[in-house]
């Protein structure tokens, strides 16, 4: 039994190029070169690889460049296998299914200043945003790129470095810069964002803890360790569209319970950071453990890979 179709788009690998040490840049296009589904600057997509793996990558190109999806993949030898497959097994002409784009940064008219902080390959979503802001004009932005070695995606970043829009900080020449001084003072017209290693994100969250939530954006590479609730109790999931009821055992995830019940649900990170399993909820009291939903979104949605329930019954829009 399926609760909803999992929407993917068929793409073909049109080009592969080296973009730095251990980094490949893949260009994905529609087989007939039609426009691809639209996306926000810095949005991400899930790649459904031929070997069955599903991995999430940020889009490097800007939304106006809508006849391709451009992703940068750093080969992680000790990773979960997705980057190795894309480096070692995928070639030009191969077919890859991708999800509809989701997430991304809002470049609202009320935001006059953007400050991006990236660690290494974490620059990818901000490359998309920088291109978008440079094209539309009217808003100030600066990207602080913190690296140990060479500049990733150097060819694509070079124009922004030359224009002073990208400031490169080399940790080999003085350690990591003070993030508080980089982001500056909070303001309603300032948007700050960070993507990089967990230690950098932890410091960024500390620095921006008093900022308005809507003005702070974080992208993560890896999901944090799962939160184990010693007081977790069993509860019932009720699927509003079908009337199906699924029992969730104490300590079991909603995702696992739904899949065990034959409900086909899209998922990727299984850690509340990618948004693939975002589902609407209608009744009950969920416990949110994700890292991406805003307070406003949590009033209507949850991430079933990590969310729990405080109530005995939770009604989902499935």
Domain ranges for the chain: 8-99, 113-220, 235-316
pLDDT of residue 2: 41
- Architecture of the domain whose range is 8-99: Beta Barrel (2.40)
- Architecture of the domain whose range is 113-220: 3-Layer(aba) Sandwich (3.40)
* Residue given tokens 């150097």 in the structure block: 154
pLDDT of residue 3: 41
pLDDT of residue 50: 85
Q: What is the CATH number of domain 235-316?
A: 3.10.20.30
Task: Give 10-residue mean pLDDT values along the chain (318 residues).
Answer: 60 95 95 95 90 88 94 83 88 94 76 93 94 88 94 94 95 88 90 92 93 87 71 91 92 90 82 84 92 84 92 94
pLDDT of residue 47: 93
Residue 307 to residue 252: CA distance in whole angstroms: 10
């Amino acid at each position: 039994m399926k609760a909803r179709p999992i929407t993917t788009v068929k793409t073909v690998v049109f080009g592969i190029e080296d973009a730095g040490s251990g980094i490949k840049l893949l260009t994905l296009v529609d087989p007939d070169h039609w426009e691809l589904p639209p996306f926000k600057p810095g949005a991400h997509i899930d790649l459904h690889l031929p070997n069955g793996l599903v991995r999430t990558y940020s889009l490097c190109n800007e939304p106006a460049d809508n006849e391709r999806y451009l992703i940068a993949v750093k080969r992680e030898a000790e990773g979960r296998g997705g980057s190795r497959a894309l480096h070692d097994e995928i070639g030009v002409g191969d077919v890859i299914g991708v999800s509809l784009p989701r997430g991304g940064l809002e470049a609202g008219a009320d935001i006059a200043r953007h400050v991006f902080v990236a660690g290494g390959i974490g620059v990818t979503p901000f490359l998309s945003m920088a291109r978008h802001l440079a094209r539309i004009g009217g808003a100030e932005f600066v990207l602080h790129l913190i690296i140990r070695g060479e500049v990733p995606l150097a060819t694509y970043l070079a124009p922004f470095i030359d224009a002073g829009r990208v400031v490169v900080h080399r940790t080999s020449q003085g350690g990591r810069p003070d993030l508080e001084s980089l982001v500056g003072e909070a303001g309603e017209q300032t948007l700050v964002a960070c993507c990089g290693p967990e230690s950098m994100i932890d410091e960024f969250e500390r620095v921006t803890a008093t900022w308005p939530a809507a003005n702070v954006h974080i992208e993560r590479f890896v999901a944090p360790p799962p939160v184990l609730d010693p007081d977790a109790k069993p509860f019932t999931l009720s699927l509003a569209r079908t009337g199906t009821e699924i029992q969730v055992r104490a300590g079991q995830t909603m995702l696992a319970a739904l899949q065990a019940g034959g409900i086909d649900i899209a998922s990727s990170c299984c850690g509340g950071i990618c948004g693939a399993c975002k589902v609407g909820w209608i009744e009950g009291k969920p416990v949110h453990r994700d890292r991406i939903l805003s307070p406003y979104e949590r009033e209507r949605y949850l991430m079933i890979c990590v969310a729990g329930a405080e109530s005995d019954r939770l009604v989902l829009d499935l």
